[in-house]
């Protein structure tokens, strides 16, 4: 019996030490070996944007590669903590930049962020400052922009206002029109509830004003095709070296903070009604099971806009996260359909 107690004691001691190591371990990003004389970069750093230090992850096997900037969703829901699961192949052909916007992920610091700066115009100003910083640092005239979910709302406005900054706009889960999206989501949930005889959900859907759809959209595969909750995203995020345990705890806090204070002061109305023309190639990378930003609306929006080149590229095994659900196809599309074929050939500029 004494031996059993001793084993249990050492087990719990080991567990406590392990938890302390996990909790206090520093954030870092794996180095990238230089190949054929090319200068690689693997940098996790703070950059001051709009008088606020914000975290940026920059990775590439060659700093001369064209810049690919991800604008994450939410507001306040970062992508950096998932980036290790999908972006390594992209780092061979792009200088990939993940940015935790003010109030999101590693940049979550409500005590330091004036709540009046949580507004769309400030986020756009932050993005432009970051883009200019990257262009100057890496001697690039333009960049490639990827927007995801709510990030497409920012990105569409950015690209319309400043087309001179971008080779192409890659939209993943394009926000089109909130009211129209809710109608499609309600119809989807009604159909699924009827199929499953889910009387509890049917009752809620018949209540005036009920719009708390997100958990149900997850449950029925409309956010991740092969999952019914956030669990796969959370588990993947725990393996991010760029995030400490405390950073991971802040992932869920960012959307609450930013959602509470966000002021939509850039345009009046929807993207559909405001932005009908782009001056750069536009690619809509869309999951065929996406009901978070319904795929039918994205196709309708693509058909309605003017652009030098436009295309919906379908991901049949994805819902709202094609880069996460089908990373190999995402890399192939980015490399062979966008970088090599349809967008302007990037060139370096000696000075800006």
Give me the DSSP letters along 188-201: HHHHHHHHHT-HHH
Whether the link from the prior residue into 249 is cis, omega within 30° of 0, is no
Residue 72 in domain: yes
pLDDT of 19 reads 47
pLDDT at 240: 96
Structural domain contains residue 20? no
Per-residue confidence (pLDDT) for residue 209, from 0 to 100? 87
Say if residue 336 is preceded by a cis peptide, omega within 30 of 0: no
Question: Strand ranges (DSSP E) for the chain?
Answer: 41-49, 52-60, 67-71, 95-99, 143-148, 166-172, 282-287, 310-315
Rounded to two decimals, the pTM is 0.92
In a domain, 226, yes or no: yes
pLDDT value of position 208: 86
Judge whether 120 lies within some domain.
yes
Rounded to a whole number of angstroms, the CA Rg of the chain reads 21
Q: Which structural domain, as residue segments, surrounds residue 316?
A: 41-342
In a domain, residue 209? The reply is yes
* Residue 23: its H or E element: helix 2-24
Examine residue 300 and state whether it is found in any structural domain, yes or no. Answer: yes
> Torsion angle, CA of 50/72/247/29, rounded to 10 degrees?
-90
Looking at the chain, the number of H-run helices and the number of E-run strands are 13, 8
Return the structure tokens found at 267: 């345009």
Q: Are 280 and 309 in contact (CB under 8 A)?
A: no
Domain count, the chain: 1
Classify strands 310-315 and 282-287 as parallel, antiparallel or unpaired.
Answer: parallel
Strand extents, DSSP E, 232-333: 282-287, 310-315
Tens-of-pLDDT digits for all 352 residues of the chain? 666 666 666 655 554 554 445 556 789 999 999 888 899 999 999 999 999 999 999 999 999 999 999 999 999 999 999 999 999 999 999 999 999 999 999 999 999 999 999 999 999 999 999 999 999 999 999 999 999 999 999 999 999 999 999 999 999 999 999 999 999 999 999 999 999 999 999 999 989 889 999 999 999 999 999 999 999 999 999 999 999 999 999 999 999 999 999 999 999 999 999 999 999 999 999 999 999 999 999 999 999 999 999 999 999 999 999 999 999 999 999 999 999 875 555 545 433 4
- Classify residue 50 by its DSSP letter: T
In a domain, 278, yes or no: yes
Q: What is the pLDDT of residue 25?
A: 73
- Does 349 map to a domain? no
CA-wise closest residue to 58 among 27, 31, 85: 31
Phi-psi region of 119 (alpha: psi -120 to 50; beta: other; left: phi over 0): beta
Q: What is the pLDDT of residue 3?
A: 64
Residue 159 CB neighbour total at 10 angstroms: 23
Instruction: Check which CATH number belongs to the domain holding 87 and give it.
Output: 3.40.50.1820
């Amino acid at each position: 019996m004494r031996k059993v107690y001793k084993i249990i004691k050492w087990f719990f001691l080991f567990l406590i030490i392990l938890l302390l190591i996990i909790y206090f371990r520093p954030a870092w990003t794996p180095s990238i070996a230089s190949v054929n004389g090319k200068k690689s970069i693997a940098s996790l750093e703070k950059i001051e944007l709009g008088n606020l230090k914000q975290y940026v992850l920059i990775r590439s096997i060659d700093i001369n590669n064209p810049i690919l900037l991800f604008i994450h969703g939410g507001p306040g829901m970062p992508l950096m903590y998932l980036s290790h699961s999908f972006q390594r192949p992209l780092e061979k052909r792009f200088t990939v930049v993940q940015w935790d916007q003010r109030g999101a992920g590693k940049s979550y610091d409500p005590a330091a962020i004036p709540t009046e700066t949580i507004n769309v115009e400030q986020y756009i100003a932050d993005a432009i400052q970051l883009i200019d910083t990257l262009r100057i640092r890496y001697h690039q005239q333009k960049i490639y922009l990827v927007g995801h979910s709510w990030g497409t709302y920012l990105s569409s406005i950015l690209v319309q206002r400043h087309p001179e900054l971008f080779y192409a706009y890659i939209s993943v889960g394009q926000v089109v029109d909130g009211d129209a999206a809710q109608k499609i989501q309600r119809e989807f949930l009604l159909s699924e509830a009827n199929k499953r005889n889910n009387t509890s959900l049917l009752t809620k859907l018949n209540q005036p004003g009920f719009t708390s759809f997100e958990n149900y959209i997850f449950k029925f595969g409309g956010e991740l095709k092969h999952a019914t909750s956030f669990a796969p995203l959370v588990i993947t995020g725990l393996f991010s070296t760029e995030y400490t345990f405390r950073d991971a705890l802040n992932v869920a806090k960012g959307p609450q903070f930013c959602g509470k204070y966000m002021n939509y002061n850039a345009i009046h109305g929807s993207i559909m009604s405001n932005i009908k023309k782009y001056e750069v190639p536009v690619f809509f990378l869309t999951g065929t099971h996406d009901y978070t930003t319904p795929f039918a609306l994205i196709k309708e929006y693509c058909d309605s806009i003017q652009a030098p080149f436009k295309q919906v590229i379908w991901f049949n095994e994805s819902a709202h996260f094609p880069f996460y659900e089908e990373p190999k196809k995402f890399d192939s599309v980015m490399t062979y359909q966008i970088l090599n074929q349809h967008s302007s050939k990037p060139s370096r500029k000696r000075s800006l």
